[in-house]
Structure 1
């Protein structure tokens, strides 16, 4: 996809949703971090249902650490991989308290040293909470990038690197949210809803669906 098309594509996404936001519910950077850790292989809706109850009783590193692994599990047991996530989150809270004065760090290196935090989670926090122009690539964004030919790549990291190069700078800050919403609701996995897509004429997907 050429630059002119990419500019027009993101201009349309911006016009349709000028201030895109994550669908995870949070009131602080720490709450966002916990929600994103929980969201791995889980839906935002499922995470929000669990964190609504969790954050009502514990929404700081000290408070969640005080719950302990078993206490935390009672709040997140409806979420996939909750055993591992509970252990990681308790260790994460301890690390925030001992190494960062209870604050979520605003740089990738420190974030990725936290238990349960990989590159994608770090990028979400850096972009959403700290408004840094980085790109978190999940399954939706990977699919959209390859289908539309915005930034094709064989691996998640390759797609991330291509998106960072090819997304016009004025749109980079919010591109993560636009692309994830496009993939979640329109450019869905099994049968993309091309007929209702606002970038359909710009998209270079060869097998468009219109039923």
Structure 2
């Protein structure tokens, strides 16, 4: 009997977690094998012992834990540079990183589940007020991202090149979040055009929430 292959990478996440989806897309774009571990399948307290902050996702590399999606993406890009997620041109690389940071650093932290729960349970905000909060910050971020694509040197089919990469894997999950909260995406034709090119691709399909084993169906 042949020994079972060693799984070097384990991704701890859940089906509806846009930060985890970013990492899944990156792993798929780089054709890296990994084991997906739904955190709901773990015993109480197990995930907190792996990642004391308790946020998703976390990547185990031969048992060593990397938390925070941006740190995970940087690790993957540094250790598996081909195919690259970032453009070769230094300015475009910085612009792609900045695009991703608008989502990962500016928007996501103030619109995620724990912030919305705090607004309702601790500050007494009504659901309509929380939805208005969400859409306000989403619109500000999407306006900036749409403008950044309008200012590109070339009208590439993807955010910053002829193939999807760093910026695109941040964009697609975030637009899905926007739709969940009934945000109007009509003012953002460049963003939605890039999304439409990404979504049919295998790397994005396999990373989608509905393709995960813990998707409720």
Structure with higher strand content: 2
The alignment's TM-score, normalised by the length of structure 1, stands at 0.28
Structure with higher helix content: 1
Higher relative contact order (CA 8 A, sep 6+): 2
